[in-house]
Amino acid sequence: MTNDKMEKIVALAKRRGFIFQGSEIYGGLAGSWDYGPYGVSLKNNIKNIWWKQFVLDREDMYGLDSAILMNPKTWEASGHVGGFSDPLIEDVKTKKRYRADHLLEENGVSSLGLSLSDMNSIIKEKSIKSPDGNDLGEVVQFNMMFKTQVGATEDPNSISYLRPETAQGIFVNFKNVLDTMHPKLPFGIAQIGKAFRNEIAPRDFIFRTREFEQMEIEYFVHPETWKENFEALVKDTKQFFQKIGLSSEKVHELEIAKEDLAHYSQRTIDFEFDYPFGKKELSGLAYRTDFDLQSHIASSGQKLEYLDQDTTQKIVPHVIEPSFGIDRLVLAILSEAYAEDEMDGEVRTYLKLAPSVAPVKVAVFPLLKNRPELQEKAREIYAKIKKEIPQAVYDDSGTVGKRYRRQDEIGTPFCITVDFETIEQNAGVTVRDRDSGQQERISEDQIIDYLKSKL
């Protein structure tokens, strides 16, 4: 696991249409990335698997798609305006700005639980310099929310923010879901959406960016049952990781120490992954108590309570929050899947993607591009497959060998070739397995059932 591997993943991601630098023709924009055709497909597969497991397959989950722009009082109540900050430090010579906690970690010092004064003392004591070798200034707090204006006038009353998380959209809609859906505790509200953070130092490809996508659930429970529901969601999270192809050996649970918990949390588990650049956070599971609802009750004056129809008791539910960053999941999947081996005397690069997330499930080829009878038959078989397996592609560009290498790098599990035996001897088609490179003949009338059994 080296930076060399990371560079290879970044290069493959661009070469094969997964991820591009944002605004690349203008020199790019730090912390901004665009997803290409296969990247979009990979992301959608992840989101669909998550939504199916956590929403569609359950009776206690409700979907939501809240607005990115919200009343600024939302962020005052949640504590983001006053406290959503990272420690910033500046190179006194170049004026470049860095995350102070990152610089400490790079110099072997854990930043967990450190105050600003602690960081300043350690930086001076250890004579820590900037990456350019220059002296550093004082550590200060930097609010990461993107500020904007709403409406035609620019004054203090028109200030709003791009949401730094999707969770608050759920909390402010808690009463709406109660009034329209009449759920019974425990129940959850789930949503997938964009969030924005003005990161001081975006880095590590799509791991830390300024614009990203989250999949979050706020699971509302009776205060007395939070422990059992928390453990159930730990299990569900592990099952999700397995479904998208992340091996349990590379996913680790980190129990956050009490002194390092966020102010709203009584218990948090971070699920970490072995990325090429080290073990880093993949997703989180936090027991937020009733902090958020109580904060919005105090700020809005609204009664955000749940009425138990059986006991007629009114309570403010407690909340457990599973939170997943889609971009970090994409990077974990690419890191897990990236592989090199030797095939036919050459080094082969391929993505050993789980079929569930592969952007292309099957590719169909004619053996030769310039033979109409092969193309016609291949198109006929492709059309039948695509009706049943939408993420199928037709590929006749280059030689068959080049097509195999291209589809290997895309992560396509199976390639089907129509050759002369298919037409002249009714001998079926050849199906090539991505991982082994082995081929077998399957009759034309069995090909769809064969693929479905493998996918």
One domain for residues 186 and 238: yes
pLDDT (tens digit per residue) in 384-430: 999 999 999 999 999 999 999 999 999 999 999 999 999 999 999 99
**Residue 203 to residue 292: CA distance in whole angstroms:** 30
Residue 251: CATH number of its domain? 3.30.930.10
Amino acid code (one letter) for 359? P
Amino acid code (one letter) for 305? E
**Residue 166 to residue 80: CA distance in whole angstroms:** 13
Contact 42, 12 (CB under 8 A): no
Nearest Cα residue to 214 out of 164, 148, 288: 164
Q: Is residue 368 classed exposed, middle or buried when 0-12, 13-18 and 19+ CB atoms within 10 A define those classes?
A: middle
pLDDT (tens digit per residue) in 268-279: 999 999 999 999
**Residue 166 to residue 185: CA distance in whole angstroms:** 22
DSSP string, 108-132: T---TT--HHHHHHHHHHTT---TT
One domain for residues 180 and 286: yes
**Residue 238 to residue 241: CA distance in whole angstroms:** 5
Indicate whether 50 pLDDT > 70. Answer: yes
One domain for residues 196 and 285: yes
One domain for residues 220 and 107: no
One domain for residues 373 and 395: yes
114 alpha carbon, distance to own chain's centre: 28
For 95-210, list the strands marked E by DSSP: 97-99, 140-143, 146-149, 159-162, 187-196
One domain for residues 292 and 382: no
- Find all residues with CB under 8 Å of 141, minimum gap 6, and list them: 85, 86, 87, 88, 116
One domain for residues 386 and 326: no
Average pLDDT, integer, range 94-118: 90
- Find all residues with CB under 8 Å of 345, minimum gap 6, and list them: none
Q: 349 in a domain, yes or no?
A: no
**Residue 455 to residue 203: CA distance in whole angstroms:** 35
pTM of structure: 0.92
Domain range holding 122? 87-133
- Specify the pLDDT at position 219: 98
Query: Which of 75, 108, 133 is the last residue before a domain boundary?
Result: 133
pLDDT (tens digit per residue) in 55-83: 999 999 999 999 999 999 999 999 998 77
